Structures are given as C-alpha cells and as structure tokens.
Structure 1
C-alpha cells in the first residue's frame, strides 16, 4: 500500500514534468490580514490547535534508549517525554502532584525523578514512588497522585503527544494514514546529528513558507540559485500535505557531478526511496520534513514550529537527522556545513523576511493577503486552521474518522 502510493505520486509528478504542467487550485484565495495579526485569534489558535490536537514532539532518535527523557514547554504547557523499559514512549504533564513544580528539565536519562522543591519522587512511568517525610505529611493515596498522562503515539520514527489528558481524538485517526507514508524514510533507525532553536515570525507566517515553492528562486536566489524551481504539486492526507516539484528528473546526489536521472527510463520497482520521498512533507500544524545530503550521507531536516508568547513570535527547533552516523572528520564537517547552510536559509532569508512581512501587516494598511492558484498548499493549510479552530471537541472525532476512512479507500 505505502510503496504503491509513493510510486503513484511519483508518476504523477513525472507526467506533469513531461508535459510542463502543474496542478492548480480552483481560484485565487484571499486571507484576512487579521488572521496573522489579531492577538485574540492567536490565543484561540494556541488553545484550539496546539493545546488540543496531536503534536509531533520529538523524533524517536532523540530518545533512543530506555530511561531517556526530554522536558519541553509548548504554549505554556510543561511536557515530559520518557522512554520506558519496554521501549515505548510516555508523555506526562511535567508538574509534581504536590505543588506543581516541574520535576525535570532539559534532556537526560533517569529511571526516576526527584522534585527539587520538596523531594517527592516519581518513576519514569509516572508513578508516585515516595513522599518526603511521610510520617509528617500525612496519609495520601500515592496511586491517585501519579503524574498526569497525556495521549502519546509513536510511529514512523516520530513521537506525537496531545496536550489534553481527556482527549478522545485517536492520534492514528488524526494522521489519516500519513504516518504509513512517512515510514518510507525509516527514521526509527536514523541518528540525531544536531539540533538548534531559532526565533521566527507569527507561526502561520512561518508555516506558509514551508508550504511554498513559489518563493524559492526569488528569496533564495543567493543560496539555492535564481534558476531553482518554483512549482509544486500537493498531495493531501487530511490536513497533512506533501509538496514536490513536477519533474521527470531526479538528481543522483551521491555522484561526483550531481548526475540527473530520467525517471521515465526507470521501472517502478527500481525507483529508490530517495526518489519516492523527494520534496517537503508537512505534518499539521507545525512540522516540515525535507531531505538533504551532507558529505554524500543522506539526512533530513525536521523543523518543529511552535507559537511564541506574542502574536508576532514563534520558535522553531531544527533537528538534523542522518540515516548513518558520520564516522570520520570529513563526513562530520560536511554534515555540519549542510546544517549551517540550512540555518542561513531559514534564519536570514525565510524568517527575516517573515518578520518584516508581519511588521508591515501590523500597520493595518492591508485587509487581505493573496494565495494564488499555484499556492494550493497555503490555501489548504488556512482552510484547515479555520476549520479546526472552530470545531468542537466532539466534532474533532468525526472529522478525522471521516478523513481516515477516505484515506483507506
């Protein structure tokens, strides 16, 4: 099923490339500027989307061993991820059930967590192990004071969590079968090479860029080049989208001369996974995955975007993951150079432009921005934001069950 779908998408891209065509949206769409600048809408988006929908919180290779943990804050919610003895991942509210003090910070490996305020101790499976000075504190049911557990799901080498312990939305349904396609990367066996966090503009301004090839040869003329492609076809799986340029060619990047491969001359069964997963894969509402090569080694940058504290702020953690861990100085240097190059592209071109754009929009001198027929990904993204911001908790289950059923057809 996964292989068949990937081949089907690739052949569609090749056919459009041969014909020098692309798929278009039905019309040019107007999005209100207030969608980017309204502080009240921004707070509602954080509540209805980021605190209610499944979020990709870590690549699996960030927590490879039992006992590994990661503490992070998402829109004011403290989250603790832990790898259990049986290899599964659990997600908890990072708050001691005594007074709410966070019990962990950063990353590390631990079988238990000691609250630094009063000394209550928790197992890494969330159980309350011990109360400090129990003879003085008084009788307490420890089973009723375990860490609050969030829904958690691991698939395709990625970890999702929902920041609502009462959520009834099944994470697998939410993904609409998209994780099966993402499994083609094989991320569960990859290595986390490096990571960093960058400040950015309004989260939707930032995310628009991940769904847009139209800007590539203009904004990135000094990095990617002015002759870089600017067309993309879009494949949607619920709110999640893959975008890739319509072309019959692929580049054999591991060759010395970046040799072009004519895909019309290659049989389906001979198409490599590197070809089948080309392009950018986005996971609603905040993830972008793009493949790269550093020193001839296959890698990917997973960009994890979250809203900041104000409407014009966001932050993005960039994970550079590699299929094989570099094993000599030359390969390590090349991988760092690739990752550093991508920082320049995003920080100094995409996000710098996004911040200037947002400041201009806040002037109130424009009522709408435009998404052309060639910018279908942005149109679909904003449609889903509006739909899910206004959906009730009960609506969510029905929305994604229907999407999952359609994806299975």
Structure 2
C-alpha cells in the first residue's frame, strides 16, 4: 500500500476509533431468505457471477518460475495453470486430449505433464510432447493440445475465464477499476505459503458475508481477533470492487504524536473484495485470499483459503499469521455460516442488514443487480 493511502486510512480509522463509531450506510435494508435457499437463484448466480464472469483464482506467486504449475477446481471445471519455459502464464482445462484424464495434480515444477492413464505428455505451453505407440495415431494437431482457457495476471492476481464465451478482453480488464490500488501492494512479488480447501454446508454468500462486516468481532471473535483489532472500520468502493480497513487497537497511540511522525504503513488490516466476491486480506506480513464458490445446492459452498508472504517479511512470522487467521476462519467463522444456513432454512425469515453493515449492503445489491 502506498504511503499516501496508508496515511489517509490511518487518519480515518483513528477518527472512528476515537468517536467509537464505524462507517455507516444510509439506511437498513432487507435480504430475502430465498437468496440463500432458492435453486433458481443459485443457477442464476452460477451463470452470471461465475461461469460467464472472469474469476480471481490464485496469486501469481503460486506459479513462481518457468515450468511451474498449479491445479484447481473452479466450479465444475478442472483448471491447470502453468508457466511455460519462457515464464508465460497459461490456463488449460486439466484434461488429456486422449481420454480426458487430468495431466497434473497439486502443484510443482515439471518440464512435462504426463497423463497417468496412457502416458501422453504435454509441455507447460500445452502442446503434445510425446505419447506411447505414437505411430498408431495421426500426426499431432491443435486437437491433441491441451484446451486453453482465457487467463491473465494483473497486480499479482491470476484471473481465469472458465467458459469459452469469456473473452480475453474481459479477463484483461476485470480488475481495471482497482488495478492502481492493487499494484501498490506489490503482490506480484509475494511467495506462496499454503492452501486450505473446505466444503461448507452454507450458501457461498453467507461465507463471503463473514469477511464483509466487523459487527461480529466483539461476540464471535471475542477471544481471538477482537483481542487485537477494533471494529471501527472504514470502507470504500471501486465500482465493482471494495476496500475495507479496520484498525489495530494500538492505533490510538497515533493521537499522541504529530502526523509527520506516524508510521508509513497501515495500522490495521485491510480486506479488498474483488468481483464477484473474492477476498484479499492484506497485513504487514503478507496476504491471504478467501474464495467461496457455489456448490451443487443452495446450502453448499466450496471455499479456498490461500496464504502468501511478503518477501521482505519473516516467512515464519508470516506463516504463523496465516495459520492464526486460517484457524479462526475454520473454527469460528465457517461453523457460524453453517449454523446461519440451518436457521434460515428452518425459519424462512428475511434478513435485515443494518446501517453498520454497509459493505454487506453494497455486495448483496451488486449480486442482485447481476441476476436481474
């Protein structure tokens, strides 16, 4: 984050802390219960927000060198990300051109990606490299290469289009509104720590909602996050994206010194939400990504929690921060999302979003707009 932005956010957070307030929306709104229950709504969301929309799926630093690769499942599509020998990023459907078996699993480095079924091998640029009994087949053509997907890396984030209808221009411009802000974070230089994957018995929006308000800090996170962070948040929107910053409790120390002597870094934590709803959690040691996507039914989601460390930070301290955040997310947040889903299913009651939950309002209105 650049110094000017950090100073502005520190000033606004300090004002909120000293006034015992948070940024507010203009009024309360209501979200219908069917938003979390309706199969028809889920089908609309899968199409408009996921299949036909570029998806932030990884950090560029998860593919750190030529011939590195990473496999993912994005909705129902097995995705293979690679860097070829020249370091150029590619995305493919992770399916061999022979019978459709995956040609890679997990992540790593390899000059050749070999299908475990019949041994067909491919370069990291997706071309057929070799196959047993080659004389039994016609000469290689484009039909024997891995099937490409549109992909780009922007501001250290990998964006993928999982449907052939998603154009390269859409993928290239998907972070345009917030690119300058993200560029200042230097995410392209961050390096991978770990990935965690969860299957959660809750609607994907309930999982996202956990990272879009601080109202729950004092109760749900009383003995964890609330010990360090204040709920006196500030928020900003960038057309289809948002930024949410909340301060360390120690930020009140800034009130005792002139601004020209303030630290140049953000005195708190910052969450950027990238359309259609992927969280980037930024702190002094590194970054995490939380990606929730719809499952097969309204009350199911698939969630990834990905950790990176800033190369200028202590990797061990960055890992500890990643594991602390991940443990809180898994032990406190995700069980609460599942409990909320059960309660909504039982009561069928619409949900009020208060004025003190402005980002929840922003994102639910944005999701509603995409489905109308």
Do they superpose with TM above 0.5?
A: yes
Q: Structure 1: any 5+ residue segments left out of the alignment?
A: 253-258, 391-409
**1:264 Cα offset (Å):** 7.5
2:280 to 286, 289, 306: 289
CA 1:262–1:204 in structure 2 vs 1: closer, same or farther (change >3 Å)? same
Aligned pairs for 1:134-149 within 5 A: 134-137=134-137, 139-140=138-139, 142-149=141-148
Which one is further off, 352-361 or 119-128?
119-128
1:339 to 322, 332, 343: 322
CA deviation map 1:145-180 (0-9, x unaligned): 322211111122221111123313523432133132
1: CA distance, partners of 2:12 / 2:152: 31
Matched, 1:389 2:371: yes
Q: How many residues align?
A: 370
Aligned pairs for 1:175-324 within 5 A: 175-200=175-200, 201-225=202-226, 229-245=230-246, 251=250, 260-262=253-255, 265-267=258-260, 272-275=264-267, 278-292=269-283, 298-324=285-311
CA 1:347–1:35 in structure 2 vs 1: closer, same or farther (change >3 Å)? same
**1:215 Cα offset (Å):** 1.0
Q: Secondary structure of the residue that 1:285 maps to in structure 2? A: coil
**Aligned partners of 2:309 and 2:319 also within 8 Å:** no
**Aligned partners of 1:2 and 1:180 also within 8 Å:** no
Matched, 1:59 2:59: yes
CA 1:155–1:174 in structure 2 vs 1: closer, same or farther (change >3 Å)? closer
1: CA distance, partners of 2:367 / 2:156: 26
2:157 aligned residue: 158
> How large is the RMSD of aligned CA atoms in angstroms?
3.0
Matched, 1:369 2:370: no
**Aligned partners of 1:232 and 1:374 also within 8 Å:** no
2: CA distance, partners of 1:91 / 1:263: 51
**Aligned partners of 1:75 and 1:309 also within 8 Å:** no
CA 1:166–1:97 in structure 2 vs 1: closer, same or farther (change >3 Å)? farther
CA 1:121–1:263 in structure 2 vs 1: closer, same or farther (change >3 Å)? farther
**Aligned partners of 1:307 and 1:313 also within 8 Å:** yes
CA 1:134–1:191 in structure 2 vs 1: closer, same or farther (change >3 Å)? closer
**1:351 Cα offset (Å):** 0.9
**Aligned partners of 2:68 and 2:82 also within 8 Å:** yes
1:72 aligned residue: 72
**Aligned partners of 1:48 and 1:388 also within 8 Å:** yes
CA 1:214–1:250 in structure 2 vs 1: closer, same or farther (change >3 Å)? closer
1:348 to 315, 331, 341: 331
**Aligned partners of 2:69 and 2:107 also within 8 Å:** yes
**1:96 Cα offset (Å):** 1.8
